[in-house]
Amino acid sequence: MGVKAVNSRINMRESRYAKGNPFRSIYIPKDPKEILDTAFKKALRISPPGGIRLNIIKRKKSVTITRIKTLSNELYKRLLKIVKSLPSVDNIHPFYASVMEIWLSKDDYKRYIAKIHGAAKLVQRIAEDYILRIRSTKKTEEIPVKEVLDTIDKLRIEAYGRISSVIESLSTELARLADLIRKMKKLPDYDPSLPAIVVSGPPNAGKSSFVKAVSNARVEIASYPFTTKNITFGHINFIENGIIIGKAQIADTPGLFDRPINERKEPELLALNAIKYLADIIVFLFDGSYERVMDYDEQIRVYKTVREFLGRDKPAIIAINKVDIRDDDLITKLREYITKKENKEYIEISAKNGYNLNILTERIRRALEIS
């Protein structure tokens, strides 16, 4: 609608971190069988060399050696690809690194990767060893052809067996990594070059409704708590006189309950990590309605937790939502607390009917120093 950006790099900043979720395009087979099957298929496609000049032993040696080589090369390549595809936890944005630790410690993550790498090298060593042994089988006066062929078969079966068990020994590591990747992929693509607003508050306070109202985020809204289990990003353009003067990303987060950290569920831990590591500012929504799921005291304690995770140097913008179905007693108490105890201003909004949302976005813009 006649809106244009004066400069596509408005309020963008440098970052040492890449844009997006570092686990986005990773695939880890969760079962070693998958890796073995593909490699064996390739190896078994090798057919014995033709030609009548090679004797039966040479033919058997040749095909067996090529199969073992192919098998180990395929496995090596596949395992190394897995190792290389996994980001180094020390180089990814701290948000992703700390969320990862909800499910898998950094040490285990590193150990698993090292074990896969070790397995790749071990497979190659086993293959080389057996290839040498197969090469040195010979027919002699005492050893008839049949026996040589049997030895080659025996060595081949042994090599396949040892190689397979190396791969199978990775079952725990692969399963845990695959599971981790599946969970990590659900995280949003954070853009470190843009400021981030994190919307937080108790369950059912209208966080998703607010994010949906002010951004392009596709979020889920429902009339019961726990709808939002994940973090979703939307983007906001700040517009003045028909011109985009700034951009930000805004995160919808799961609601927080009033309980100690060790009793918090995964969605809450995600929310707290977003507050701690992604937020440049937060918008805290109190639920000021008679339909609230949390009473005054609990809401205040949730607010205090959020403040603690945000750190003192970052601003929190406070709003009381659902004033269209307001509980006056509750709102009076909240107002007392916010203005007297916290010495802060707040704004009454309705995410549902849009009341005061423009003023709230204006406050966000000022807090982000976009002008």
Q: Which stretch binds ligand GDP (CB under 6 A): 108-116, 147-155, 156-164, 207-215?
A: 207-215
* 350 near ligand GDP, rule: CB under 6 A: yes
CB of 202 to Mg ion, least distance (A): 11
Our CA angle for 105, 110, 113, nearest 5°, is 125
Burial 139-177 (b: 16+ CB within 10 A, else e): eeeeeeeeebbeebeebbeebbeebbebbeebeebbebb
CB of 45 to ligand GDP, least distance (A): 54
* 299 near Mg ion, rule: CB under 5 A: no
Burial 188-211 (b: 16+ CB within 10 A, else e): bebbbebbbbbbbbbbbbbbbbbb
**Strands 243-252 vs 232-240: parallel, antiparallel or unpaired:** antiparallel
* 253 near ligand GDP, rule: CB under 6 A: no
CB-CB contact of 68 with 156 (8 Å): yes
Match 């969970």 to its residue by tokens. Answer: 183
CB of 297 to ligand GDP, least distance (A): 19
CB of 171 to ligand GDP, least distance (A): 39
Strand extents, DSSP E, 260-300:
281-287
Q: Which one of residues 8, 223, 262, 343 is an interface residue with ligand GDP (CB under 6 A)? A: 223
Q: What single DSSP character describes residue 316?
A: E
* 267 near ligand GDP, rule: CB under 6 A: no
* 351 near ligand GDP, rule: CB under 6 A: yes
**Helix, strand or coil, per DSSP, at residue 81:** helix
249 binds, among Mg ion, ligand GDP, none (CB under 5 to 8 A by kind): none
Q: Which one of residues 183, 322, 363, 365 is an interface residue with ligand GDP (CB under 6 A)? A: 322
* 234 near ligand GDP, rule: CB under 6 A: no
Determine the number of helices (DSSP H) and then strands (DSSP E) in the chain. Answer: 11, 7
Q: Which is nearer to ligand GDP, 131 or 334 (CB)?
A: 334
Burial 54-72 (b: 16+ CB within 10 A, else e): eeeeeebbebbbbbbbbbb
Q: Which is nearer to ligand GDP, 207 or 276 (CB)?
A: 207
Q: Which stretch binds ligand GDP (CB under 6 A): 38-46, 124-132, 184-192, 319-327?
A: 319-327
Of 31-90, binders to ligand GDP (CB under 6 A) are none
* 215 near ligand GDP, rule: CB under 6 A: no
Q: Which stretch binds ligand GDP (CB under 6 A): 77-85, 146-154, 219-227, 326-334?
A: 219-227
Residue nearest to ligand GDP (CB): 206
Q: Which is nearer to ligand GDP, 322 or 365 (CB)?
A: 322
Give the torsion through C-alpha atoms of 83, 88, 89, 90, to 10 deg. Answer: 150
Backbone phi and psi for residue 89, each to the nearest 5 degrees, phi listed first: -60, -20
Q: Which one of residues 29, 87, 195, 203 is an interface residue with ligand GDP (CB under 6 A)? A: 203
Q: Which is nearer to Mg ion, 177 or 251 (CB)?
A: 251
CB of 327 to ligand GDP, least distance (A): 12
Residue type, 88: S
Residue type, 307: R
CB of 14 to ligand GDP, least distance (A): 33
Q: What single DSSP character describes residue 342?
A: S
Q: Which stretch binds Mg ion (CB under 5 A): 121-129, 203-211, 293-301, 349-357?
A: 203-211
Of 299-318, binders to ligand GDP (CB under 6 A) are none
Strand partners, 60: none
* 205 near ligand GDP, rule: CB under 6 A: yes
Q: Which one of residues 31, 108, 324, 342 is an interface residue with ligand GDP (CB under 6 A)? A: 324
Q: Which residues contact 211 (CB under 8 A, 6 or more apart)?
A: 199, 217, 219, 232, 234, 250, 251, 252
**Helix, strand or coil, per DSSP, at residue 20:** coil
The residues binding ligand GDP (CB under 6 A) are 203-209, 221-223, 225, 227-228, 255, 321-322, 324-325, 350-352
